[in-house]
Amino acid sequence: MKRTILSYSLALAALISMLKLLEYRFLVHTLSLEIYLGLIAILFTVLGVWVGLKLTQTKPLPVSQLNYQVDFQFDPARLEKFGISKREYQVLDLMARGLSNQEIADTLFVSLNTIKTHSSNLFLKLDTKRRTQAVQKAKELRLIP
C-alpha cells in the first residue's frame, strides 16, 4: 500500500513539475518583451536613485572655512571703520542668509525702498556692485560669519 502511494505521489510530482516547466516556457516565450522592459525599468530606477543621491550629497566644508565660522566674533569697531550702521548690518546679515529684498523688508518691518537704500549704501561702503559681491567682501573683512 505504501509503495502504491509513493509511486503515485512521485508520478504526480513529476507531472506537476512538467506542467510548471511548460507554463514557465510559455510565459517567457510570450511575455519576453515585458520581462525585458521590466528588467530595464528596474535597472534605470536603481541607476536614477544612485545618481540622485550622489548629486544631492552635501560636501563637507574645508577645515579652513569651518575654523573661520567657529572663530568668528562680532566686532563693532570694524563696522565703524567702514561706516556701516546697525540697520545696514542687519540688512547685510539677512542678505547673507539668502533673503530677498521683500523678505528683508518684511522681517525688519520697513518698506522695500528703505531696504533698497540700505543695500545701495552697503554697496558703496563695501565698494561692490551686487549682493553676492557685498556678502563675499563682508565675509572676507570678517564683518559677518
Please say whether the beta carbons of 144 and 96 come within 8 A.
yes
- The DSSP string of 69-109 is HHS----HHHHHHHT--HHHHHHHHHHHTT--HHHHHHHHT
> For position 69, what pLDDT does the model report?
54
Buried b (16+ CB within 10 A) or exposed e, 37-69: eeeeeeeeeeeeeeeeeeeeeeeeeeeeeeeee
pTM for the model stands at 0.52
Q: Domain boundaries in the chain? A: 2-56, 63-140
Angle between helices 112-126 and 101-108 (to 10 degrees): 110
> For position 119, what pLDDT does the model report?
92
The architecture of the domain spanning 63-140 is Orthogonal Bundle (1.10)
Distance CA 20, CA 12 (A): 12
> For position 102, what pLDDT does the model report?
92
> For position 6, what pLDDT does the model report?
84
> For position 61, what pLDDT does the model report?
55
What is the grid cell recorded at 93? 546679515
What is the grid cell recorded at 3? 509503495
Q: Output the tens digit of pLDDT for each of the chain's 145 residues.
A: 888 888 888 888 998 888 887 787 777 777 778 878 888 999 999 999 999 888 888 776 555 554 555 566 777 888 888 889 889 999 999 999 989 999 999 999 999 999 999 999 999 998 999 999 999 988 888 888 8
